[in-house]
Structures are given as structure tokens and as C-alpha cells.
Copies of this chain bind each other. A is one copy, B any other.
Amino acid sequence: MFEAAELGHKIDKATYKDEVPKLREQLLDVQFELGEKKAFPVVLIVSGVDGAGKGETVNTLNFWMDPRNIHTHALGEPTDEENERPAMWRYWRALPPKGNIGVFFGSWYSFPMREHIEHGKGQDYLDSYLDDFLRFERMLADEGALILKFWLHLSKKDVKKKLKELEGDKATKWRVSKKDWDRYDLYDKMRPVAEHVMRRTSTGHAPWIVVESGDEKYRNLTVGRTILKAIRGRLEQQGKSSGASVPVAAIQENVDGVNMLDKLDYTLSLTKKDYAKQLELYQGRLSRLCRSPKFRDRSMLLVFEGNDAAGKGGSIRRVTAALDSRFYDIIPIAAPTDEEKVQPYLWRFWRHLPRKGHVAIFDRSWYGRVLVERVEGFCSEADWLRAYGEINDFEEQIARHGGIVQKFWLSITSEEQLSRFNEREATGYKRFKLTDEDWRNRDKWDVYSEAVCDMVERTSTELAPWTLVEANSKYFARIKVLKTLCERLESEL
């Protein structure tokens, strides 16, 4: 894999001097078009052998291009705010919006590679990270990002030569420390690991590009031209394409029309007296659970979805009544803001992940993609089909980091909805809760039901289960929500 990068590539001074101005002008050109059109985000990873000039390369790029829409991220030790979220959170928050270029120094690959090479973490450990990265990059690519991963390569001999050169010059001597020589000693160990990483994670949509870096002029030109070609190619492609290609639907047909929502028992109910008693009971239990010292090191994400008028708000209110308002936040999901629109779909949910000891309650959620967006055609079929996997991955990351994800579908019958709509129309202060859209959605009852069933089937996991809540009786629904929460917390803490 690295053989082609040990050929002694070189560019002479005169050629370089000749080529750079042309390249710069072209880079500025495509960059301008990229920015003006807010065409797509560009994710550049600059990684490689120590001493191969990662820093110089990034600085050169910044100098060549319009530095106003490039942002470089050299993420060192995570901050405490980052440590309280899943590992990829810090990268999500640094993602470039459409039209921008994000340069990731070392990037997500650095940490597990270092742990594996320097601190003896095993192959499985490394590979499980690589799987995460593959999914992450797949998602970025599906969201339209252009991803280029540069590996700047130097042979062991060249690393030694470089370090000696730096040490020999008074002006650069300070740049070489014992750590650099320690790393040099690890070269033979590092090389096959780097090969392994590249083999596993070089994909069509996010390729590794190995660049021989013994000659800085060759290195800079190669990196610059590769970026130019890739951005230009994508811009041309975007100009031509007439929308994303539609995959064959991977959803099975429901041939007998029976679905799990129909099978729920909508007659379940509670008397007012029983409700009052159980409400107090479960709210007390929930309150104690969330106050428990064990919860301080966890976090909880609650998702409330359901038919219009199924009583999401009322259920949420009964949950929050048991919580301390200092430790929860309700996130109502409406249309994305313009900062959210230029980011991958899940970005606007990542930004709301709770800190430890906190509860985030989503009133509607990322499931909008496979519900309203699917049904109304707000996204392509390809987009919502891949959303199931992306969502499972998202929730798994949260769960692995100690987050408790609990999802509720509040289900009512069509008749019950109609009567609640009518009641809302009649009641003054409830009128604002009913919109024309609610009536339109009602006309699509069956299509929505199908989407709900697919959603539950594909995203109810051990780590992040769905609870279907029979909600024709508000009392029953609220208690079921509270009870489910208590039991879940008891099993988790």
C-alpha cells in the first residue's frame, strides 16, 4: 500500500513556481463556486506519519485558498463538555456546513490508532472504532459531503533523515523532542496498523489518498490538485444530476392490511381515582430514581411521537412534573433553522444531547424523517430508507456512552382523534392546538400508520426500545408512560 509512496517523487523548484499560481487561481475559483452555491460540505482529513508535514500542508492549503470558508480543527484532549457526550459529538459540532471546507487534523482516526499502537489496546478495540467511522463517513457521504482522507507518508529512513535535519539546524532544533524519537521507534509497529486502517476504511465515497511526502513541493501540489479535481468534479456532477438515484424499496408489502397498531387494545383505561393514586406513586418513584446518585453519571433521552392529538404534551407534562427543572430540557422539534439546513440531518439532534445527570425530552424527534418526511415526500426515498440505520447507529452511540434512550409512540384510533379535533375546535384556548395541517394529516391516516409500523419494526432495539402506548384514555396513557420509565430506569441504574 505504501510502496507507491516511496518512489522518491520530486518536483523541481522552477516547475513548482510555475504551477502554484495556476493551481491557486483554480482552487479559488472552485472554492468560490462551492461557497456561492452552498453546494456541499468538504471534509478533508490530513493524517499521516509524524514528520511528514501535516501542519505545513494544512497551512499551505489555508494560504492558497480563501481562508474565510476553511476551518481547521486540531482536536486535542476532549474538554469536559465533550467527555459528557458520545465520542463523535466533538466531530459533529465541528462539521463544515454546505459551501465550507473543514480540515481535520489527524481526525477521528488518531485516538484509536494511538491507543492501539502506543497503549496496547487490541485489534478488536481498533476495529470497532473503524466500524463506527465507516458508518459516520457513509452518512456524511449520503448527506452529500465530499470526503478526502490524506495520509502523508514517509519511509522510516526519511523520518530519521528529517528528524536529524531539524535537530541539526539551530532554528528548528526546538521542534524535535524525545517524544518524536519515541514515535520513530514505533514506526515499524505503526506501519502495518496504518495499512490495516486504510484497507478497512478506504471507500469509494471516502477514499484514503496516500501522498509521498519526502519532497514538500511534490506533496503540496499533489494534495492541492487532488482537492481541486475532487471539488470541481463534484460541482460538475451536481450541475448535471437530476436528483438522487432511487433504490428499490426495501420495505415489505403488508398484504393482509393487519398491523401492530390495530392490534393494540384501545379500551384500556383508568378511573380518575386510580389515575390520581398511580400518578402520585409513579411520579414519586421517577423523582427518586432521577435524584439517585447513580443517575448523575448517566443521561436520559426521551422521545415522544404519536398521532396528532394523542396527548404527547400532556404525557410530557406528567413526566416533567416529577423532575427537577434544573436537570431537564424539552426540545420541541419544528422546521430546521437555516444553520441546521446546511448540515447532515441528524446534526440538529446531536447538538441537543444532554450532559450527564440531565434529561432531554424530545417532543417529536429525529423520527420525523421516517414519518412526516417520508409520507409528505420532503426527502427522497433513499434518504428515509437509510435513516433507519443512521438512527439506530445514533442511538447506539448514545447508549454505549451511558445514555438511556426511551421512545414512546402514543397511539389513538381514528375515531378518537376525530372527537378530540372537534373538541379542540370548540374550546377557545385549545383552538390554537389545531391547524389545517392536522386535518390534512388525518386524510393520510393509513399511510402514516404504515410508516409508524415500519419505524417501530426497524428501530425498536434492546438499547433503545419503542413503547407503544394505547392512548385513547389519557389517564391510562400517562400512567403507562410513567410506569415504563420507572421500570426502565430501575433496570438501568
Instruction: List residues of chain A with CB under 8 Å of any chain B CB.
Output: 25, 28-29, 32, 36, 55, 58-59, 61-63, 66-72, 74, 79-81, 103, 105, 313, 316-317, 320-321, 324-327, 329-330, 332, 337-339, 363, 429, 432
Max chain B Cβ within 10 angstroms of own Cβ: one of A28, A55, A313, A429: A429
The residues of B that contact A329 with a CB separation of less than 8 Å are: 71-72
B337 pairs with A67, CB closer than 8 A: no
- Protomer copies: 2
Which residues of chain B have C-beta atoms less than 8 A from A55's C-beta? 324-326
Contact A62 B320 (CB under 8 A): yes
Distance between Cα atoms of A361 and B63 in the complex (Å):
14
| Separation of A271 and B338 alpha carbons in the complex (Å) | 47
Return chain B residues, CB-CB under 8 Å to A429.
25, 28-29
Contact B68 A363 (CB under 8 A): yes
Residues on the B chain within 8 Å of A337, using CB:
337-339
- When distances are taken between beta carbons in the complex, the residues of chain B under 8 Å from A74 are 326-327
Once the chains bind, are B69 and A324 in contact (CB under 8 Å)? no
CB distance from A202 to the nearest CB of B (A): 25
**A62 contacts which chain B residues (CB < 8 A)?**
320, 325
A-B contact pairs, 21 of them (CB 8 A): A25-B429, A36-B432, A55-B325, A59-B324, A59-B325, A61-B325, A63-B317, A67-B317, A67-B330, A69-B332, A72-B325, A72-B329, A74-B326, A74-B327, A79-B80, A80-B80, A80-B81, A81-B81, A103-B325, A337-B337, A338-B338
Q: Which residues of B are found within 8 Å of A69, using beta-carbon distances?
A: 332
Residues of chain B within 8 A of A313, CB atoms compared: 66, 68
Nearest 7 Cβ contacts at the A-B interface = A74-B326, A68-B332, A72-B325, A62-B325, A67-B330, A58-B325, A338-B338
How many whole Å from A349's CB to the nearest CB in chain B? 16
Cβ contacts under 8 Å, A103 to chain B: 325
| A63 interface neighbour in B70, B321, B432, Cβ under 8 Å | B321
Give the distance to chain B from A152, nearest Cβ to Cβ, in Å: 15
Contacts of A28 in B (CB 8 A): 429
Report which of B59, B68, B321, B332 forms a contact with A330, defined as CB distance below 8 A. Answer: B68
Cβ of A363: which chain B residues have Cβ within 8 Å of it?
A: 68
Residue ID in chain B nearest A76 by CB atoms: B326
Check B32–A432 contact: CB distance below 8 A: yes
Q: In the complex, what distance in Å separates the CA atom of A74 from the CA atom of B103?
A: 35
Question: Do the beta carbons of B32 and A320 come within 8 Å of each other?
Answer: no
Contacting residues, chain B, for A317 (C-beta < 8 A) = 63, 67
Q: Which residue of B lies closest to A26 (CB)?
A: B429
A327 partner residues in chain B, CB cutoff 8 A: 74
> How far, in angstroms, from A103 to B326 measured CA to CA in the complex?
9
Assembled-state Cα–Cα distance A66/B324 (Å): 16
Task: Identify the closest chain B residue to A319 (Cβ).
Answer: B67
Instruction: State in angstroms the CA–CA spacing of A81 and B81 once bound together.
Output: 7
A388: min CB distance to chain B, Å:
27
Q: Nearest residue in B to A432 (C-beta to C-beta)? A: B32
- Select from chain B the residue with minimum beta-carbon distance to A59: B325
Bound CA–CA A28/B427 (angstroms): 14
CB distance from A296 to the nearest CB of B (A): 12
* A67 and B29 within 8 A (CB): no
Closest chain B residue to A74, Cβ basis: B326
Complex interface: chain B residues within 8 A of A25 (CB)? 429
In the bound complex, residues from chain B placing their C-beta under 8 Å from that of A58 are 325-326
| Chain B: CB-nearest residue to A316 | B67
Partner of A320, one of B36, B67, B81, B324: B67
Q: How far is the CA of A217 from the CA of B144 in the complex (A)?
A: 56
The minimal Cβ–Cβ distance linking A252 to chain B, given in whole angstroms, is: 36
Residues on the B chain within 8 Å of A324, using CB: 55, 59
Residues of B within 8 A of A79 (CB): 79-81
Q: In the complex, A265 Cα to B468 Cα: how many Å?
A: 76
Output the least CB separation between A484 and chain B (Å): 20
Starting from the known contacts A81-B81, A105-B326, 16 additional A-B residue pairs (CB-CB under 8 Å) come to A28-B429, A29-B429, A55-B324, A55-B325, A58-B326, A59-B324, A63-B317, A63-B321, A68-B313, A71-B329, A72-B325, A72-B329, A79-B81, A80-B81, A337-B337, A338-B339
